[in-house]
Structures are given as C-alpha cells and as structure tokens.
Amino acid sequence: MRALLTRIEQARGLDRVGDRMQHAVQATLRPQRVRDFLHGVWLGHPLHPALVQVPVGAWLSAAAVDLLPGQRRSATALVALGTAGAVPAAVAGLNDWAALAPDQRRVGLVHATANLVGLALYGGSLVARLNGRHNLGRALSYLGLSAASAGAYLGGHLAYKQGAQVNQSISELHRISDGWHPLADLAALPQRKLITRSIDDVSVILYRHGDEVTVMLERCPHQSGPLGEGEVQQIDGHACVVCPWHGSAFRLNGGEVVHGPSGNDQQVLPTRVVDGILQTRLP
C-alpha cells in the first residue's frame, strides 16, 4: 500500500488533468469571499474535514441499519442525508485541493475520484430505494461505502502524511526553548516594516506599530511560505501580512487568518520590553 501511495504522489501523468481541473475550480469558485468561506477562514479551521462528518456518519449508519429488518425507510433517509451532505463537503475539498502542492494534488485527485464514484453509487442507491428496489439499493450502498472508504484512506494520507491543510508552522514552537529570548533593540526597530529574526533557529517576523510590536512565526501555516518576504496590506482596517506564495493573509494584531487558502491562524508570541530590549517567549 505504501508503494502504491508513493507511486500516486509521483505520478506526473496526473498533472495534465490536475492542472485543467485546478484552473476550472479556481475560475468557478469566486470571489475570494466564497473561497475563504470554503477554506474555513471564518472558522479558524479547515472546513472540509468538518463537513465530511455528515456523509461519513450517515453512510456508515445506513450500512448498519441496512442489516436490521424493517428499517428500509430509515436506511433510505440516511442514504439521502449522506448523499446531500457529500456535495458541500466535495465543494470545500475541491477548493482546498486547488491550492495544494503538486504531489498532494495528485493524491487529492485520486481521493476525489474515489469519493465521486462513491457519491454516484449512493445516488444510484437512493434512486433504487425510492423506486422500491431495496436489494439493489443496499448493494449499491455497500459498493459506495467501499469506494468512499478508499477515498477516506487517501484523505487520511493527504492530511497526516503529506500535511495538506494542516498547520505547517505550529510544530516550530516545539523547537523554541522555554524562557524569554532577546530579539531586538526596540528603539532601533523601524515602524510598520516586516523584520525577520531567529529564536533557536526558528524564524519569526517582527512588526512595529507605535510602541506595539507583534512577533509571529514566519513560516506560513498553509505551506511554509516565508511571511517575512510578504507584503503588509490594510485589509478591513487591519494591518495584515500577505504570504508571497499563495496570498493567505494574517492580521498582524493577533495572527487571525483573514484570507485563505490557509484555514489556520498564524501563531503570535508574547512580548515584553526590558531595558529597551524586545523579548519574546513561548505562548
């Protein structure tokens, strides 16, 4: 299985289809507000994994209920709920997929295909059940569950092995030692300019506004882009740093994500000034 997954990750032959699909998804899912909603910016957490709970829960429940006598209506209702719930989950997933790295996109393409086959089989199952063909409906459901399970396995690989839509910067905190770390002479820090510094080899950015200084991890939570090379923009009245790689934006006051594709906030670190020296530590 590991060898197969590695082959999928490296299957450049999938890129032609993937590139076309990526353009189609980006052209369809507009404006930015819609993309942000689907990335889970409003939630501070990727939306797709939350939405997939509906089809997974409903379809698994239908599989169990299908084994019980006299439960045809309940099973049909669960299949209908799962099938309807799979649509928004798929749309949010496609939106995340379009901003992934090439190796992640290849696995994501196979993940989406398996889930699409599962969805089609559950759609067929629902039609069969509504037409009174319950045995056929049950058989199609079990086939659909098999396809969706393969899709879920690939989704797990995408998240846990390849780190898709997982906060890429938070593990940096584990490399920072306890205690306060000196960062800069406050008087020498320029106003409203991004400055990059290191603590225990972990890169952070500093942004001074008046006497307030924000210290934030530099690696973008989306795919580790260098926020220190990003631009500062005013978004909704707040100074935000915009990632140079895919445009995720984070408030410099607090680290909240305001535009995706990151669905995660950026980590800011506490600060204090001692004898004119700006210091920071782990939260």
| Minimum CB–partner distance for residue 164 and ligand FES (Å) | 11
| Minimum CB–partner distance for residue 191 and ligand FES (Å) | 25
Query: Which one of residues 103, 245, 253, 282 is an interface residue with ligand FES (CB under 6 A)?
Result: 245
Nearest to 238 by CA among 222, 214, 262: 214
| Minimum CB–partner distance for residue 101 and ligand FES (Å) | 9
The rounded distance, in Å, linking the Cα atoms of 32 and 15 is 25
Specify whether the CB–CB gap between 260 and 41 falls below 8 A. Answer: yes
Would you report the helix, strand and coil content of the chain in percent, each value rounded to 5?
Answer: 50, 20, 30
The rounded distance, in Å, linking the Cα atoms of 243 and 13 is 30
- Helix (H) or strand (E) segment spanning residue 101: none
Q: Should residue 46 be labelled a site residue for ligand FES when binding is judged by CB under 6 A?
A: no
Q: Should residue 243 be labelled a site residue for ligand FES when binding is judged by CB under 6 A?
A: yes
CB-nearer residue toward ligand FES: 118 or 225: 225
Report 4-33 residues binding ligand FES (CB under 6 A): none
Query: Which one of residues 136, 246, 256, 281 is an interface residue with ligand FES (CB under 6 A)?
Result: 246
Q: Should residue 162 be labelled a site residue for ligand FES when binding is judged by CB under 6 A?
A: no
Binding track over 206-225 against ligand FES, x by CB under 6 A: --------------x-xx-x
106 contacts: CB under 8 Å, gap ≥ 6: 8, 9, 10, 11, 12, 14, 15, 18
Q: Should residue 251 be labelled a site residue for ligand FES when binding is judged by CB under 6 A?
A: no
Nearest to 245 by CA among 263, 267, 223: 223
| Minimum CB–partner distance for residue 244 and ligand FES (Å) | 8
Q: How many CA atoms lie within 13 A of 150 on its CB side?
A: 20
Q: Should residue 248 be labelled a site residue for ligand FES when binding is judged by CB under 6 A?
A: yes
Binding track over 93-132 against ligand FES, x by CB under 6 A: ----------------------------------------
* Residues 203-228 as b or e (16 or more Cβ within 10 Å = b): bbbbbbeeeebbbbbbbbbbbebebb
| Minimum CB–partner distance for residue 184 and ligand FES (Å) | 24
**89 is written with which tokens?**
């989950």
Query: Which one of residues 262, 266, 279, 280 is an interface residue with ligand FES (CB under 6 A)?
Result: 262
CB-nearer residue toward ligand FES: 66 or 218: 218
Contact stretch for ligand FES (CB under 6 A) within 178-186, 189-197, 208-216, 245-253:
245-253
**47 is written with which tokens?**
């939306």
Q: Should residue 255 be labelled a site residue for ligand FES when binding is judged by CB under 6 A?
A: no
| CA distances to 148, 181, 208 from 168, in Å | 27, 23, 25
| Minimum CB–partner distance for residue 264 and ligand FES (Å) | 11
| Minimum CB–partner distance for residue 50 and ligand FES (Å) | 21
Specify whether the CB–CB gap between 186 and 276 falls below 8 A. Answer: yes
Contact residues: ligand FES, CB under 6 A: 220, 222-223, 225, 243, 245-248, 261-262
